[in-house]
Structure 1
């Protein structure tokens, strides 16, 4: 049965539907988990973003599956039947063994195949965080007597290195945009598609390198997101944030040209996709996968590499950040535009500037009186 939307919020229907889909997935996971966690489920609804809630519940289900599979901590045959008493018998050492030993490298049978799974420290840290929130809550809620989270082993995360940031150089961006403009570097087969989508693809790439949008932020854009008379558009960011962005002349031009000359007319599109800004050749909202492939294709042309070596949309986000900083904008301005929670993230892009130290010392020479004293 199709769900009808009675949307009285300021959010467009596609954002409401996306959030509802995640909530439905959360509710399904909650049905599969033990009943004694019910208070914790209610806590999560108000404490974290919907996407984080879904990730936490997935991690907890994975842990409960491990309890059943290992046959060491519970007599239950199904996750739903694990008892609070059995959970209370779990120690911090048990958690450390689960995260540090089992999660690090494990096998699963899938369609008669034995599949190897490995988790890096970032993934292990998230699993630890999910279990920490659960056990801390059960302790605060008076359901278990001890807070075992203080005994969880620390997980060292590698410090991000500026040199490891992948992005396009400014001249590579120019080559990429020339390719989408003129079809240079495309194969004959790619040119067949390009003839039908070049204005759409150009608008997508321009938005990515101008605003550093995240993939889903761009994918969820609607025609109604844009108010050209006021020179602004709305984007929907992580944790449900609604942000008004100013639109510059270049972006307005490429979007209007796409809407006028290439995008199918409204009466040719199914109702649920009529407001979607970027459409596939099937006249449906583009998928995340198709946008990734598009970006990969054009960035590979910009860098003169095989298609398999092309960059993801997130690398265009890095391109936008470093380009803005190199142009002279402060890291705080760029932090605000990029929606970085912490300015240290933005500082990584600033540190990535090539020859920054050389530029500083070459322009500050104590033996050059003209430079130090500002003489001409």
Structure 2
């Protein structure tokens, strides 16, 4: 890619190169944002670097940069024209009410993109994250003596539905079978989709099976390598959040599907660039698939299982939910499922145990008011 910095890696850790490079990429993006922010935030940057996961750090910095742009463009709290030029004294003028106005602004706002006005709308979960980003920053600045007051106590609460209040979205077993039939046969695909499917059906099937068997997170699957798998031992290695390394057992379905893909469809290593030779899942261009490409693939096939539009298809995270609900539905221990899914708290796993869509279906199955009405009408006509 034009302008992309070439990185020479000297890796003496146990992690594969692509995991190290991905982490470096996120850290580099964090540093780019930091350079655009005021110097008096340097202590806060050090705090984030030491105590916060790199992806969370990137999200926090993005929120703070957006807040600084807001101060410049929407308020009279600063005379700066660039976020880096905002002064410490100007930050000290900020009150809790100003933060609450900012959060209200974030519910709906316009952005000029490529000559077009784009309307952004954010729900309570996004607003809560932006509030969290600012709370962490202002608390740290107060601890360092940069802010004279701790204004975070005055931030308005944002009501986010508890996990137990949200309906868990997951495929039912029959929908999983329809999805797998589609990737096997090409049924329900458009003519254009079938052209790509002919070249990628073994890869696509392997991706879907890994998601619904192990409940992998998107980044965990995207970073898988051929060398991650030891087929003779029947296991593979993944790298999870907080640098956790986990070995997973392979079952027969996944083993046969992966070997079929690697042996009969995946492009040979001698046709690949060095950077992508070990990548398990390749695009048609012979490069490691991006998270976006995998997400679109999943939406396409899940939409077939759900009999809905491509846009309404499920995300990879909902296939993670599918794996959890299916495992629990098969009578597996909730603690075993917790370990497989890498949930930090068993309460998270319990949410999937409480998801009883099949029970709901059984409850309403015999409540066919309209069918009973029609049947009664027909009986009266024949009597």
TM-score, normalised via structure 2 length: 0.88
Matched, 1:183 2:186: yes
One of 12, 17, 20 as aligned partner of 1:13:
17
Compared CA separation, residues 306 and 95, structure 1 to 2 (3 A) = closer
| Cα distance change of structure 1 residues 306 and 129 upon mapping to structure 2, 3 Å threshold | closer
After superposition, the Cα gap between the structure-2 partners of 1:307 and 1:75, relative to the gap in structure 1 and judged at 3 Å, is: closer
Instruction: Identify the residue that residue 56 of structure 2 maps to in structure 1.
Output: 52
Structure 1 gaps of 5+ residues are: 360-376
Query: Which one is further off, 318-327 or 185-194?
Result: 185-194
3-state SS of the aligned residue for 1:286? coil
**Residue of structure 1 in register with 2:196 after alignment:** 193
Partner residue of 1:28? Answer: 32
Say whether residues 1:207 and 2:229 are aligned partners. no
TM-score, normalising length: structure 1 = 0.89
- 1:136-174 deviation line (CA, Å, top 9, x unaligned): 111111222221111111111012357722221112212
- Give yes or no for the alignment of 1:352 onto 2:355: yes
| 1:206-260, Cα deviation, whole Å (9 max, x unpaired) | 1111001112211110011112233221112233332221222221121112111
Is it true that 1:157 corresponds to 2:167 in the alignment? no
Q: Distance in 1 between matches of 2:190 and 2:126?
A: 39
Secondary structure of 1:314 counterpart: helix
Structure 2 CA distance for partners of 1:307 and 1:88, relative to 1, 3 Å? closer
**Residue equivalent to 1:66:** 70
Give yes or no for the alignment of 1:296 onto 2:314. Answer: no
**What whole-Å deviation, never above 9, does each CA across 1:287-319 have from its counterpart, x for those lacking one?**
223222322222233233343332222221111
Deviations 1:294-351 (A, max 9, x none): 2222223323334333222222111111100100012222122112233232222111
Distance 1:228 1:347, change over 3 A: same
Distance 2:311 2:44 in 1: 44
Q: 1:181: Cα distance to partner?
A: 2.2
> Distance between the aligned counterparts of 2:190 and 2:91, measured in 1?
59
Relative to 1, partners in 2 of residues 1:190 and 1:165: Cα closer, same or farther, differing over 3 Å?
A: same
- State the partner residue of 1:328: 331
- RMSD over aligned CA atoms reads 2.1
| 1:95-106 correspondence to structure 2 within 5 Å | 95-99=99-103, 101-106=104-109
After superposing the two structures, state which structure 1 stretch, 229-238 or 41-50, moved more.
229-238
Residue of structure 2 in register with 1:262 after alignment: 265
1:90 aligns with 2:117: no
Any unmatched runs of 5+ in structure 2?
A: 363-383
Match of 2:45 in 1: 41
- The change in CA–CA distance for 1:36 and 1:206 in structure 2 (over 3 A counts) is same
Task: Return the match for 2:82 from 78, 81, 89.
Answer: 78
Moved more, 194-203 or 107-116: 107-116
Cα distance between partner residues in 2 of 1:106 and 1:86: 24
Task: Indicate how the Cα distance of structure 1 residues 87 and 264 shifts in structure 2: closer, same or farther if over 3 A, else same.
Answer: same
Deviation at 1:188, TM superposition (A): 4.0
Matched residue SS, 1:32: coil
Aligned to 1:274: 277
Matches within 5 A, 1:306-321: 306-321=309-324
- Distance verdict in 2 for CA 1:76–1:303, change over 3 Å: closer
- 1:77 is paired with a residue whose SS is coil
Is 2:226 aligned against 1:223? yes
Greater mean alpha carbon deviation, residues 292-301 or residues 326-335: 292-301
> In the alignment, which residue of structure 2 is the partner of 1:371?
none
Once residues 187 and 134 of structure 1 are traced to their aligned partners in structure 2, the CA distance between those partners, rounded to angstroms, is: 49
